[in-house]
Amino acid sequence: MKFAAASLVSIALLLASSAQGAQHMQKKHHRRTGPSATFSQPAPTTTAAAPAPTSTSTGSGTIKRGLSFNDASLTKDFTSKQVSWAYNWDSSFSGSLPDGVVYFPMLWSADPSHSAQWADNANAAIAKGSTHLLFINEPDLSSQSNTSPQDAAQQWMQFMQPFAGKANLVSPAITNGAPPMGTGWMDEFLAECEKLGCQVDSIAAHIYDSATNVAYYQSYITDLGTRYNRSVLITEFGASGTVEQQQAFLQQMVPFLDNLDSVSHYAWFMTAVGNLVNSDASLSSLGETYVSS
């Protein structure tokens, strides 16, 4: 659960969820345009295009780092030596990703606007090399998929369980809100899944807080692996602060995540202008730090 020092973020998340809902998603596809928790992002700035740096990786050589995107064209200056995977809160995308970067499709919710094409899109993605299937986005947050643990378990059996053995099946992506959100929601979901016979291979989670609170991130993420005894995908993480503070944060967090055995994949929020990239899609100073830390 969230520690007392971070409880204000959870409270702010709950109070702000309805007011910020429109900013979190694009109406047509329900893709995210803002983070799951409230935090201050610096005003977009353009920095000189960064040279393609050498990636960090785990001791096994596996690159855990990934990209979250709405516009695939903004990923063009990343390489498969820097990132290994990408997703867009949907089960398909337009355009192309860098060569060698694997796409992970997501069933954002069980609403027919998403689920009607899910099986076809998931099968197509697996045929093209997708290794993981992602399931509903932030079910514990009213402005996102807003799904009860019981309903989510039933939906899992309908939409995810048929792919057991074909890909790594990843749980709903929870926020780091205090129970009954976050791990409270996940505990209920897994208990319900135990009754139904769901095969949940990995756990997905999001985390936001201050860039100066590195110890909280490290403790929370470590606890997820211990608590659930499954591999963990941090499919969104972000940190409030100046660009310089965010760079310092990434310089500590990226090596930590790369060396934490329980974490299999992670993605900074997000591949957007003024964040990881400039307006011409070249890497920003923050983007350079993300792929070189």
Q: CA 214, 217, 218, 222: dihedral to nearest 10 degrees?
A: 180
Contacts with 166 (C-beta within 8 Å, 6 or more apart), sequence order: 126
- Partner residues linked to 173 by β-bridges: 137, 204
Coarse DSSP helix, strand, coil percentages of the chain, rounded to the nearest 5 percent? 35, 20, 40
| Half-sphere exposure of residue 263: CA atoms within 13 angstroms, side-chain side | 29
| Burial of 117: CB neighbours in 10 Å, binned 0-12, 13-18, 19+ | middle
Q: Report d(CA 241, CA 255) in Å as an integer.
A: 20
* pLDDT tens for the chain, residues 1 to 293: 333 333 333 333 433 333 333 333 332 334 454 554 433 344 333 333 334 333 344 444 689 999 999 999 999 999 999 999 999 999 999 999 999 999 999 999 999 999 999 999 999 999 999 999 999 999 999 999 999 999 999 999 999 999 999 999 999 999 999 999 999 999 999 999 999 999 999 999 999 999 999 999 999 999 999 999 999 999 999 999 999 999 999 999 999 999 999 999 999 999 999 999 999 999 999 999 999 99
- Quick one: which of 220, 157, 225, 222 has its CA closest to 193? 157
Q: Supply the DSSP string of 4-23, one letter for each residue.
A: GGGHHHHHHHHHHHHHHHHH
pLDDT at 266: 98
CATH superfamily of 66-292: Glycosidases (3.20.20.80)
Q: DSSP letter at 72?
A: G
Phi, psi dihedral angles at 152 (to 5 degrees): -65, -40
Contacts with 2 (C-beta within 8 Å, 6 or more apart), sequence order: 9, 10, 176, 177, 178, 182, 220
pTM of the prediction? 0.83
CA 245 to chain centre: 21
Contacts with 230 (C-beta within 8 Å, 6 or more apart), sequence order: 200, 201, 202, 203
pLDDT at 49: 39
The domains of the chain are located at: 66-292
| Burial of 247: CB neighbours in 10 Å, binned 0-12, 13-18, 19+ | middle
pLDDT at 192: 98
Pairing status of strand 25-26 against strand 132-137: unpaired
pLDDT at 35: 53
The token pair that represents 107 in the structure block: 């069933």
Q: Supply the DSSP string of 107-130, one letter for each residue.
A: ---SSHHHHTTHHHHHHHHHHTT-
pLDDT at 69: 98
pLDDT at 57: 46
| Half-sphere exposure of residue 149: CA atoms within 13 angstroms, side-chain side | 19
